[in-house]
Structure formats: structure tokens, C-alpha cells
């Protein structure tokens, strides 16, 4: 399998200077078409609409048509048609002041031809002369040269200043080296010193010169590619009669696609929140910048993240006196026993937020069920709430909204995860229309099987007596509802929506199609949000109507199993058609306390090769945590995309550091031969890998009420010896504090 080459960052920066030269001054045409990257089967590019008049423009529409090429995706514009195509502005780029520009990004399939340069038409383009776009097919290439030359007869000090200001905003944490170039996380970047003192195409000291040559050998080395990527160099020599830098910033480009022999120098830098896509009057705009890092309103956003598991709901056991077999954790029912006639810990949510903030948390992932959004669901109302009246909300929806507003007041960012298709089905689902038999139907000593519930209206086994129907239409409605919360609540802390938790029962093609529909739905309500997309798993429903039979799906080395939600292996060849600066990939990964995988087996026990889970426990298989083996799996499942500049925020990782102690009696018995801290070793290996790859991650969880992971907070609760103390939190676990401080660089 081939994967896209790495876009070396220093080349992308130089490419922006090249793009500036190609557009020229305001005497040029208002509409232009540029190929920014090309490979054997496709290309990416930009259509730029520049207001070259003296009056403001309110709204615009452009048209183009190909002979052989066809559009495969686009961003920063509303595109319709199927050749010819029409693009109109979106909310934030329709009003252009004189000299301002808007950019529509696109990706094309070449369909056996070359990358075409079509004519851009439309009323806004009428009467304009074309300077001619810069395309990869029209630029001389040389594998033996590594220099990029930009020649000009005139330049603008004001434009150069604007460009330097932009770099200083986009890369505010860029560290200046002695050479003047910025350097961060093994990537070169423009620094303020470069703008003010260094001779370069971007520096103020160079703004009055007639030409400049920058050799790549004089720049800091760019980041090395992973074993799954390849790159090569090329050069561009471009001459223009004028080189005034455009007053607006180029928008995002899609990921590059495979190239067998060369890597075309991009002519623009992928967008971030400091691009023209961010309205300066709007707050709470979240983007992924050119380095794959999160930003809020154009500023770097630390992703020191944890999961607020269960939202103070719980699975009510079958023998519960008030609500037998009631709502599971994914519904915000507000029945944590924090304050229960002085029997609980006396804790409040605000107190906990302040403690987490002081400990370093800047972001929380918030799992919900569709029923959480309802104001009249009985599982989220009295008499099913056990809290003290002083902290009891009216219903689940109010509790959710209060939580978001309280987090906003504490400057904690939130992203909401649709964690299930039903509050009664819970975490086990795997698809929107999940149906039994579920994966834990034969789990020993387990009270929460729920074989009588289904989210599907058809194809259910005889065990189903209760249907909580869920489908794509209801899911889309939920996504739009959540996307509207910032406006409704007056908050600016909703980062985005994790569109569905661990969709392990889909193929990549099916999940890709659903993810792209989710993006369109969310964007139609709130273009400020990120679309957070998890991976799939190693198997999927075989679509024959039999829910307990699965087909294998590609995930690389068959000996390295992905966790549910971890598998983004096929993304490399079949990426999501979602703008790169709006997309946050969010795989999940866990160690043996959640599930013992076959790559956890001790290789010295040949009888255990290929075993996992209960079958491995039955043979008393030993567990060996080998970071090298683990990293091979992480790299091919999702890590390779980090080198391509994608934003990655692991949505869930963590575990029970005392495993197999402090878990269910069944697990303690099955794994009693494990006497070392294997899950703590796994968590340490995961953090080391995340740091190496500059990947952020959300710890599961803050809450300690899960027997397979426990939480950052300690608790006197034990599922075997102290089950009556469920819901009481004390202080933070110092082992996990050390782990998270290491991840955060503290």
C-alpha cells in the first residue's frame, strides 16, 4: 500500500512566496486557478477570487469545467454540479473588501490525463485579465537542484510586513535559531527574527531587493518521514513582473496523495485558524493549523485532555430498588452519589473542574447518548436521580448544558462525543443501528448484557423485546442540535463533535461516507467547529443480515490488532473529503486491562501465539509489553498520518494500573497469574510514543467508576470488596499525575 509523501514544511513556506509572485498586483484578473500539488492519479489546488475593484463585494459565484479531470472534494466554498461545477461563498468569505481574496480548495482525479487548467468564469470574473495560474505541469522541475528562485522587478514593503505579521500569528510558538529561521518539533517555521533581520524572500530586509535565492541547504532540516512515507525534492524557478503579496491568506489544501517519483513543492501553506476562514469578530473558532495542531481564534490551543466518563450517570443494576436495569453511564442522569445526605464525598462539579484545571487539564471529552439531548426522558429525571437536591438538575439536557457553561466559565474546552445509539445499549454498539447479539453476551458475572435492546428496527434476534430505533436521520439531527449549542448557550468552548464512538462494525468505505455526511450537517449549522472522526476496527458486519458474523477489514500487519476505533489504515489511500483544517482524527487505543490482545502475548510461550482475551487467560498466557511491537501497530493504524500534517487527538487511552487487581472478580480469577504492572507499562509506552510523534491524547478517565480503567481520581470503591462506595472520589492518583505530566511536557 502506498501512502502520501510528506509535505516538507520548509518547502510549503517557500511555496507561499512563489504563490505571491504568481498573482501579482491588483491589475491582474480577479479569478485564478492554481495546481498546488500533483501526483500520478490526482492533484490539489486552489481557485482564488480577488476583489481587484475599489468597492466591496458581497457574495460571489464562479464556474469551471474540465475535459478529463473530475472534482473529488472541495472546501472553503459551496460547490455544486458535476462538471461543469459552480462554487459560491460560504458565510465567512463572501464579503471581500478591495484587495481581499477568498480561496476555494479542491482535489481532483486526473482520470488518466494531466492536471488541467480550466477557465474560471462568473460575473465576478468578467472583464478581468488573467495573469495565468501556476501549475505543477507548467513549472520546470529538476531532481538535481534544490534551490527555489523568485525573481521580481518590484515589491511592496507593506505586503511583506503583512506576510511577516501573518507568520507571527500562525506560528506564535516558533523558536528562533541562531540562523534566524524558526524551528519547532523538528519542523522549520517562520520566526519573527526571520521577518525583521534575515535576508530571505520573507524578511523585511529583503523587501526592497530585486531578487533572492534561497537554498534548501541553508534551512533547518524538516521532520523525518515515517517508514510508511516517502519524499523527494524538486525545484521551481518562477519569474514575474510584480510580486506584491496578496492581502489575504491562502486557505487549506487537502492532503497530498501518492507520488511515485517526485514531490511537487506546494504553492500554498495549509490553512489554520489564522487564515481568512476565521472571522475576526467571531469567537470560538477552532481549526487545525498547518502543523496539525489545534488553534482557537488563531492561537495555539493546548490539548491537555481527559474524558469525563459517564456524566454522573451509571448502569443501575438489575437489583436496584428504585430503577432496576436503568440507564447506563453514557446518559447524563446526574445520579452520582457525591452528596447524598452526607453519605457521599460532598464533591461538586465546579470544585472538580477547578481541581482538574489546577492539575493541567485544558480540555474534556464528554460522552453522551442521544437520550441526553431530550428534556423529558424519564431516565434523566426524578425519581431516577439520586443526588442531593442542592446539586440535582431538572433533566438530563439541562445537566448537559449546565456542564458546558460551567466548563466555559472555567476556561475548559469541551468536545461532545455521541457515545451510543441508545442509553440502554451503551458502549457496545459499533454502528448506528446496532443489534444483538452483543460482544459481552457470554461475559462471566456481568449484569449489563442488554440482549433485549436494539437500535435496529429490522433483523433482530428473538431476544429483542425493546427497540430504541436509531438511524442516520436521527443521528444527523443530533449532530445539528449539538452544533447549535454555542449560539444557544452563549459559550465559545465547544471545540467540535466526536461524531460517533468506536464505529467498529463498519467498513472504512461505509464509515467514510457517513463521516462526510456528518461534516456537511455540522458545517451547515456551525462552521466554527471541528469534525472529530474516530477509526474503525479490524472486522466489520458482513452485511448478510447475520449480526454475529464479521468480515476482516484491512489494518496492516494481521498480528497487530487495532482496538475499537483505532484503525485508520485505509485513510492513506482513501482519505476523508473533509477540509484538513476542519478535521481532527481521533483513534482509541488501550492496553490489557481493557482487552488482552494477541500482540501482548509472551513470545516464549508458543502455545499462546495468536490467542487473546479469555482464550489466552484459560492457558495462563503471560503478557509482555514490548514498546517496539506496540509502536509498529500504532504507526500503521494512525501514526503515519501525523507525519503528513493531520491533526490527531487520541480520544481514549488509559487503564487500570493495578490490573488484574481492583477489577471484577471474574477478571481477577482469570488473570491471577499476572503479578506485574503490565497495564502501567503499556500506558507508559503509549505516552512515550505520543510524545515522539507529537500526538495529543485524552486520558480515560477522570472518573474512577470503571473497573477496567478506574480513573485519575482515586476512590474507596472496589467492585469486589467495597461496592457500596461507588461514586465517591478522593484525590488524584499520583502515578497517573506523573504519566500525564510527562505527556504534557510538565
Which residues are identified as catalytic? Answer: 502, 652
* Cα–Cα dist 209/150, whole Å: 11
* Cα–Cα dist 353/441, whole Å: 36
List helix spans (H) across 198-276.
none
* Cα–Cα dist 252/527, whole Å: 14
Cβ proximity of 640 and 632 under 8 Å: no
**What would you report as the CA-atom Rg of the chain, rounded to the nearest whole angstrom?**
27
| Helix, strand, coil share of the chain (percent; to 5) | 25, 20, 55
Rounded to 5°, the CA angle 352-354-357 comes to 110
Question: Closest Cα partner for 538 from 549, 552, 559, 557?
Answer: 552
Residue 6 C-alpha cell reads as 510528506
Q: Which residue has the cell 517562520?
A: 190
* Cα–Cα dist 658/424, whole Å: 29
List helix spans (H) across 448-552.
472-483, 485-489, 508-525
* Cα–Cα dist 379/266, whole Å: 54
* Cα–Cα dist 184/129, whole Å: 41
* Cα–Cα dist 127/29, whole Å: 8
* Cα–Cα dist 251/272, whole Å: 8
Residue 65 C-alpha cell reads as 469545467
Q: Which residue has the cell 490467542?
A: 611
* Cα–Cα dist 717/526, whole Å: 41
Element (H, E) at 698: strand 696-700
Element (H, E) at 400: helix 396-409
Question: Closest Cα partner for 102 from 145, 51, 67, 58?
Answer: 51
Cβ proximity of 639 and 585 under 8 Å: no
- Decide: helix, strand or coil at residue 200: coil
Rounded to 5°, the CA angle 94-97-98 comes to 130
Question: Closest Cα partner for 700 from 650, 633, 734?
Answer: 650
Bridge-based pairing of strands 147-151 and 237-239 is parallel
| Close Cβ partners of 546 (under 8 Å, ≥ 6 residues apart) | none
Question: Closest Cα partner for 497 from 475, 536, 534, 530?
Answer: 530
* Cα–Cα dist 120/48, whole Å: 10
Residue 682 DSSP label: H
Largest CA-CA distance found in the chain, in angstroms, rounded:
84
Beta bridge partners of 385: none
| Close Cβ partners of 358 (under 8 Å, ≥ 6 residues apart) | none
Cβ proximity of 419 and 501 under 8 Å: yes
Phi, psi of 532 (to 5 degrees): -105, 120
Cβ proximity of 151 and 190 under 8 Å: no
Please report, for residues 54, 421, 431, 465, the alpha-carbon distance to residue 537 in angstroms, rounded to integers and kept in the order given.
Answer: 55, 18, 12, 29
Question: Closest Cα partner for 666 from 448, 447, 438, 443?
Answer: 443
Cβ proximity of 734 and 713 under 8 Å: no
* Cα–Cα dist 525/487, whole Å: 10
| Close Cβ partners of 165 (under 8 Å, ≥ 6 residues apart) | none
Amino acid at each position: 500500500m502506498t501512502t502520501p509523501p510528506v509535505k516538507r514544511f520548509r518547502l510549503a513556506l517557500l511555496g507561499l512566496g512563489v504563490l505571491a509572485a504568481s498573482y501579482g498586483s491588483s491589475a491582474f484578473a480577479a479569478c485564478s486557478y492554481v495546481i498546488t500539488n500533483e501526483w500520478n492519479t490526482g492533484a490539489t489546488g486552489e481557485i482564488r477570487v480577488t476583489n481587484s475593484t475599489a468597492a466591496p463585494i458581497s457574495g460571489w459565484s464562479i464556474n469551471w469545467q474540465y475535459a478529463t479531470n473530475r472534482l473529488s472534494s472541495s472546501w472553503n466554498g459551496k460547490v455544486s454540479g458535476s462538471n461543469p461545477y459552480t462554487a459560491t461563498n460560504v458565510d465567512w468569505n463572501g464579503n471581500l473588501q478591495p484587495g481581499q481574496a477568498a480561496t476555494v480548495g479542491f482535489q481532483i482525479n486526473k482520470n488518466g490525463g494531466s492536471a488541467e487548467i480550466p477557465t474560471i468564469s462568473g460575473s465576478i470574473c468578467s472583464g478581468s485579465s488573467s495573469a495565468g495560474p501556476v501549475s505543477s505541469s507548467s513549472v520546470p522541475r529538476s531532481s538535481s537542484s534544490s534551490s527555489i528562485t523568485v525573481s521580481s522587478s518590484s515589491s511592496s514593503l507593506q505586503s511583506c510586513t503583512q506576510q511577516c505579521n501573518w507568520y507571527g500569528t500562525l506560528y506564535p510558538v516558533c523558536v528562533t535559531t541562531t540562523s534566524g529561521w524558526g524551528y519547532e518539533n523538528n519542523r522549520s517555521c517562520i520566526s519573527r527574527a526571520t521577518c525583521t533581520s534575515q535576508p530571505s524572500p520573507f524578511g523585511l530586509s529583503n523587501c526592497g531587493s530585486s531578487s533572492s535565492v534561497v537554498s534548501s541547504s541553508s534551512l533547518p532540516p524538516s521532520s523525518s518521514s515515517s517508514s510508511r512515507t516517502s519524499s523527494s525534492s524538486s525545484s521551481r524557478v518562477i519569474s514575474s513582473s510584480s510580486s506584491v503579496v496578496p492581502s489575504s491568506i491562502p486557505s487549506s489544501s487537502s492532503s497530498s496523495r501518492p507520488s511515485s517519483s517526485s514531490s511537487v513543492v506546494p504553492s500554498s501553506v495549509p490553512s489554520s485558524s489564522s487564515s481568512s476562514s476565521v472571522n475576526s469578530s467571531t469567537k470560538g473558532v477552532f481549526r487545525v493549523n498547518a502543523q496539525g495542531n489545534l488553534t482557537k481564534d488563531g492561537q495555539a490551543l493546548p490539548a491537555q485532555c481527559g474524558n469525563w466518563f459517564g456524566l454522573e450517570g451509571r448502569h443501575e443494576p438489575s437489583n436496584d430498588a428504585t430503577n432496576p436495569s436503568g440507564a447506563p453511564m453514557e446518559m447524563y442522569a446526574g445520579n452520582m452519589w457525591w452528596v447524598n445526605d452526607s453519605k457521599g464525598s460532598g464533591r461538586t462539579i465546579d470544585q472538580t473542574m477547578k481541581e482538574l484545571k489546577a492539575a493541567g487539564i485544558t480540555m474534556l471529552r464528554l460522552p453522551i447518548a442521544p437520550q441526553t439531548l431530550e428534556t423529558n426522558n424519564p431516565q434523566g429525571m426524578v425519581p431516577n436521580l439520586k443526588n442531593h437536591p442542592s446539586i440535582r438538575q431538572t433533566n438530563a439536557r439541562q445537566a448537559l448544558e449546565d456542564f458546558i457553561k460551567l466548563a466555559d466559565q472555567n476556561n475548559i474546552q469541551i468536545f461532545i462525543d455521541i457515545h451510543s445509539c441508545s442509553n440502554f445499549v451503551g458502549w457496545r454498539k459499533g454502528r448506528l443501528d446496532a443489534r444483538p447479539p452483543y460482544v459481552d453476551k457470554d461475559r462471566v458475572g456481568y449484569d449489563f448484557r442488554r440482549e433485549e435492546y436494539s437500535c435496529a428496527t429490522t433483523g433482530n434476534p428473538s431476544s429483542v423485546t425493546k427497540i430504541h430505533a436509531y438511524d442516520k436521520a436521527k443521528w444527523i439531527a443530533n449532530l445539528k442540535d449539538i452544533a447549535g449549542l454555542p449560539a444557544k448557550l452563549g459559550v465559545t468552548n465547544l471545540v467540535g463533535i466526536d461524531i460517533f464512538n468506536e464505529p467498529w462494525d463498519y467498513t472504512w468505505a461505509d464509515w467514510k461516507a457517513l463521516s462526510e455526511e456528518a461534516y456537511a450537517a455540522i458545517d451547515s449549522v456551525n462552521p466554527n467547529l471541528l469534525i472529530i472522526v474516530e477509526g474503525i476496527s479490524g472486522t466489520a458486519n458482513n452485511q448478510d443480515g447475520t449480526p454475529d458474523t464479521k468480515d476482516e477489514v484491512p489494518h496492516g500487519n494481521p498480528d497487530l490488532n487495532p482496538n475499537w476505533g483505532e484503525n485508520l489504515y485505509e485513510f492513506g489511500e482513501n482519505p476523508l473529503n473533509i477540509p484538513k483544517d476542519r478535521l481532527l482524527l481521533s483513534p482509541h487505543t488501550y492496553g490489557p486491562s481493557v482487552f488482552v490482545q494477541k500482540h501482548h502475548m509472551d513470545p516464549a510461550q508458543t502455545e499462546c501465539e495468536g490467542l487473546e482475551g479469555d482464550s489466552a487467560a484459560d492457558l495462563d498466557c503471560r503478557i509482555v509489553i514490548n514498546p517496539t511491537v506496540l509502536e509498529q501497530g500504532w504507526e500503521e493504524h494512525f501514526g503515519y498520518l501525523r507525519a503528513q500534517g493531520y491533526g490527531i487527538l487520541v480520544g481514549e487511552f488509559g487503564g487500570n494500573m493495578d490490573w488484574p487487581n481492583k477489577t471484577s472478580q471474574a477478571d481477577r480469577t482469570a488473570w491471577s497469574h499476572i503479578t506485574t504492572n503490565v497495564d502501567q507499562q503499556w500506558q507508559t509506552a503509549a505516552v512515550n510514543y505520543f510524545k515522539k510523534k507529537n500526538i495529543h491524547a485524552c486520558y480515560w478517565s477522570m472518573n474512577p467508576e470503571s473497573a477496567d480503567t478506574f480513573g485519575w481520581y482515586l476512590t474507596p470503591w472496589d467492585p469486589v470488596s467495597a461496592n457500596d462506595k461507588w461514586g465517591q472520589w478522593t484525590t488524584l492518583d499520583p502515578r497517573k499525575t506523573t504519566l500525564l505530566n510527562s505527556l504534557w511536557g510538565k
